[in-house]
C-alpha cells in the first residue's frame, strides 16, 4: 500500500481537531467507498446491505499540548439482519443489526492504541502511528471483510480472532436463510472456545428463557441454537479442558 504523508500536528491543536483531521486522512488512504463522518467519528463504507464502521474512540486522557490517542473498533452491520432481529425480538441477543463489533487490538494484538500526536510511541513501541494504522487496516483487517459476502464464506474464511462472540454472526446466517451455515458457526465458535460451553448449555437446556442485550451472550446463543433447531440438547459438544494440576515445585513457588 502506498501511504501518503499524514497530517502534521502541533501543541496548539486540540484533540478533537486532531482526530477529525486524522479520520479524514485515513478515509482518503482507504479509498472509495470509505468516507469520514465527524460524528460519531467513524470511517465508514457502505456496500449493499453491509455497513462497515471504523470507530475512532478518543482517550479520556487526551489533552491539547500532550498526547492524543485513539482506540479503533470495527463494527459491521447488516440491514437484512436488523430487519430480521426486529421480526424476532424474543430470539435475538441484540437488535442493532451488528454481526461484528470488535476492538482492533483483538484482531491485531500489536495494535494496542494509536497515537495521533505526542511522545508515547517513543516509550511504548506497540502504540501505532496514524500511518501504521492505515497499513495494518489495509494488510490485516479490510481484506478479511470479503469473507462476509455470505455466511458460508465467513465460516471458511474468518480467522479465529474474529470469533470472540458469535451471536451476531449466527443471527446473520439465520437472517440469510442459511441454517447449515448458522450451525457450522456455532460449532466453530464452541470448538475455538470450549470454556464457553457450560454457559451455552444453560441456554440450550432452557429455550424459554427471555433474551436481551444484558443477557450472558453464550447462554443467549445456546437458547438461539435450541429454538432455531441448530443444536440438539443431547448432542455432544466440545469438552472443556480440565484445569491442570500444578506440580509440587509450582505450588511451592506460588506460596512465596
Mean pLDDT by 10 residues, the chain (256 residues): 82 96 97 95 96 96 94 97 93 92 93 92 89 95 96 95 96 97 96 94 84 77 94 84 49 46
The pLDDT of residue 110 is 81
* Domain finish residue from 122, 144, 166: 144
For residue 249, is it within any domain? Answer: no
CA–CA dist 218, 197 (Å, integer): 8
For residue 253, is it within any domain? Answer: no
Residues 139 and 205 in one domain: no
DSSP structure string for 196-229: GHHHHHHHHH-TTS---TTS-HHHHHHHHHHHTT
For residue 250, is it within any domain? Answer: no
Residues 123 and 215 in one domain: no
Residues 139 and 175 in one domain: no
Question: Helices 217-227 and 197-205: crossing angle, nearest 10°?
Answer: 40
The pLDDT of residue 94 is 86
Sort 232 into a burial class: Cβ within 10 Å, 0-12 / 13-18 / 19+: exposed
Residues 106 and 225 in one domain: no
For residue 254, is it within any domain? Answer: no
Q: Which three cell numbers stand for residue 181?
A: 451455515
CA–CA dist 193, 136 (Å, integer): 26
DSSP structure string for 127-167: SBPHHHHHHHIIIIIGGGGGGGGSHHHHHHHS-GGG-S--H
What are the CA-CA distances from residue 176 to residues 67, 74, 152, 169, 193 (Å)? 45, 22, 11, 11, 25
Residues 170 and 117 in one domain: no
The pLDDT of residue 21 is 97
CA proximity to 213, closest of 49, 90, 55: 90
For residue 196, is it within any domain? Answer: yes
For residue 251, is it within any domain? Answer: no
For residue 91, is it within any domain? Answer: yes
CA–CA dist 142, 246 (Å, integer): 42
Residues 35 and 117 in one domain: yes
Residues 136 and 170 in one domain: no
The pLDDT of residue 240 is 59
The pLDDT of residue 54 is 98
Look up the domain containing 45 and give its range: 1-144
Residues 183 and 221 in one domain: yes
Residues 155 and 140 in one domain: no
> In sequence order, what are the residues at sequence separation of 6 or more whose Cβ sits closer than 8 angstroms to the Cβ of residue 177?
none
Residues 174 and 193 in one domain: yes
Residues 140 and 207 in one domain: no
CA within 13 Å, CB half, 129? 12
CA proximity to 162, closest of 195, 140, 139: 140
Number of domains, the chain? 2
Is there a contact between 14 and 64 (Cβ–Cβ < 8 Å)?
yes
Is there a contact between 183 and 230 (Cβ–Cβ < 8 Å)?
yes
For residue 245, is it within any domain? Answer: no
Residues 105 and 198 in one domain: no
- 3-state SS, one letter per residue, for 90-103: CCCCCCCCEEEEEE
The pLDDT of residue 244 is 52
Amino acid at each position: 500500500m502506498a501511504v501518503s504523508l499524514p497530517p502534521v500536528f502541533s501543541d496548539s491543536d486540540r484533540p478533537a481537531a486532531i482526530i477529525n483531521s486524522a479520520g479524514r486522512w485515513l478515509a482518503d488512504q482507504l479509498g472509495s467507498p470509505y468516507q469520514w463522518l465527524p460524528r460519531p467519528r467513524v470511517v465508514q463504507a457502505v456496500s449493499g446491505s453491509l455497513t462497515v464502521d471504523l470507530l475512532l474512540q478518543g482517550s479520556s486522557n487526551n489533552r491539547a499540548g500532550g498526547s492524543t490517542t485513539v482506540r479503533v473498533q470495527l463494527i459491521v452491520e447488516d440491514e437484512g439482519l436488523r430487519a430480521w432481529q426486529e421480526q424476532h425480538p424474543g430470539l435475538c441477543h441484540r437488535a442493532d443489526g451488528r454481526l461484528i463489533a470488535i476492538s482492533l487490538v483483538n484482531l491485531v494484538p500489536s495494535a494496542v492504541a494509536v497515537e495521533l500526536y505526542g511522545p508515547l510511541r517513543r516509550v511504548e513501541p506497540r502504540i501505532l502511528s496514524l500511518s501504521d494504522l492505515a497499513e495494518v487496516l489495509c494488510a490485516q483487517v479490510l481484506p478479511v471483510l470479503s469473507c462476509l459476502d455470505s455466511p458460508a464464506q465467513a465460516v471458511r474464511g474468518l480467522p479465529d480472532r474474529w470469533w470472540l462472540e458469535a451471536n451476531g454472526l449466527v443471527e446473520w446466517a439465520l437472517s440469510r436463510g442459511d441454517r447449515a451455515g448458522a450451525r457450522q458457526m456455532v460449532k466453530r465458535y464452541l470448538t475455538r472456545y470450549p470454556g464457553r460451553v457450560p454457559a451455552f448449555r444453560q441456554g440450550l437446556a432452557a429455550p424459554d428463557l427471555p433474551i436481551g442485550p444484558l443477557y450472558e451472550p453464550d447462554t443467549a446463543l445456546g437458547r438461539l441454537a435450541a429454538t432455531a433447531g441448530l443444536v440438539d440438547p443431547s448432542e455432544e459438544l466440545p469438552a472443556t479442558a480440565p484445569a491442570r494440576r500444578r506440580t509440587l515445585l509450582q505450588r511451592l513457588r506460588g506460596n512465596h
